[in-house]
Amino acid sequence: MRLYVTPASPWVRRVRVAINELGIADRFEYVQTRWPHSWGTQTVTTLAPDFAAATPVARIPALVTDSVTFTDSNAIVDYLNAEFGAYRLLAREGAARWKALAVIAVASGNLEAQIMRRAELLRGDDKRSDDFLAKMRDRQMRCHAAIEKDHLASFGETFDLAQITTAVACGYDEWRYGPGWRDAAPKLAAWYDAVAQRPSMKATEPAETPQR
Ligand SMILES: N[C@@H](CCC(=O)N[C@@H](CS)C(=O)NCC(=O)O)C(=O)O
């Protein structure tokens, strides 16, 4: 299987953490993608031909298997959880599934805000909207606080997809925007400091995307 990646992407990271937690990292070929800083607002015309051919969405992660191509992290982790994880990272059905999906939706909303904020920042001083940046930051802080208030106490022993997505949202915020998020959710920050030591998290710490 071929997984298109970059070390800066939190969506890629949640897939890679899931892969490492499932112990199946050696089943994948990891293909590094390259992006110009204009990716946030302009069509990227310099994508490698194999990547462009694999995904009309032209975003990462994308997973190419012998039988199917997935162009979204949710579809990828759903596939890996079912095919290789015996539903260990996300319950197949029932209350446990709905509870996890509720957490994932908040953590993903947080990640979307962080990526939109990043794209806006890349537009440059003269074009960016301070109102939009503030709106995204407010969403991030609300999401961190809501996970702390509504979900943290019920996190179980398994570092599952709900926890993985939450940890990746914390980690990206810290890496891109600094420790300010910790004020919004100090208990979540303490939890994050512990799970950030897991080998799956250590092996996938963010780094800047190679430029093209
Ligand atoms: N909902 C998608 C989001 C994927 C996404 O936004 N990826 C970003 C990298 S963090 C990307 O490829 N952006 C390039 C672009 O938008 O042109 C997922 O879960 O995979």
Taking the centre of ligand 1 as the mean of its atom positions, its distance from the CA of residue 153, in whole angstroms, is 30
Ligand 1 neighbourhood includes 111 CB (under 6 angstroms): no
Rounded mean pLDDT for each run of 10 residues along the chain, 212 residues in total:
97 98 98 93 94 97 98 98 98 98 98 97 92 98 98 97 99 98 98 98 93 66
Q: Which residue type sits at 50?
A: D
pLDDT at 6: 96
Say whether both 103 and 66 belong to one domain. Answer: no
Last residue of a domain, one of 48, 63, 84: 84
**Sequence-distant contacts of 174-181: CB under 8 A, at least 24 apart:** 175/205, 175/206, 176/114, 176/118, 176/206, 177/114, 177/117, 177/137, 177/140, 181/140, 181/141, 181/144
- Is residue 211 a part of any domain in this protein? no
Q: How many domains does the chain have?
A: 2
Identify the CATH number of the domain in which residue 79 sits. Answer: 3.40.30.10
Residue 82: phi and psi, rounded to 5, are -80, -45
Check pocket membership of 113 for ligand 1, CB cut-off 6 A.
no
Q: Is residue 24 part of a domain?
A: yes
76 and 19 belong to one structural domain? yes
Residue nearest (by alpha carbon) to ligand 1 atom 13: 59
Tell me which residue of 109, 97, 202 sits closest to 147, measured CA to CA.
Answer: 109
In this structure, which residue's CA is closest to atom 11 in ligand 1? 59
Over the stretch 111-164, which tens digit does the pLDDT of each residue have?
Answer: 999 999 999 999 988 999 999 999 999 999 999 999 999 999 999 999 999 999
Domain that includes residue 171, residue range? 95-198
Q: Is the dihedral of CA 89, 91, 95, 99 positive or negative?
A: positive
Residue 205 lies in a domain: no
Q: Is residue 212 a part of any domain in this protein?
A: no
143 to 95, 148, 159: CA distances (angstroms): 22, 9, 19
Identify the CATH number of the domain in which residue 185 sits: 1.20.1050.10
pLDDT reported for residue 212: 62
Which of 34, 64, 84 is the endpoint of a domain?
84
Q: Is the Cβ atom of 108 under 6 angstroms away from ligand 1?
A: no
- Choose the final residue of a domain: 56, 84, 112: 84
Q: Would the CB of 60 count as within 6 Å of ligand 1?
A: yes
In a domain, 209, yes or no: no
- The alpha carbon of 113 and the centre of ligand 1 are apart by a number of angstroms equal to 12
Q: Based on the fold, state whether residues 36 and 67 are members of the same structural domain.
A: yes
38 CB within 6 A, ligand 1? no
Q: Are residues 68 and 103 in the same domain?
A: no
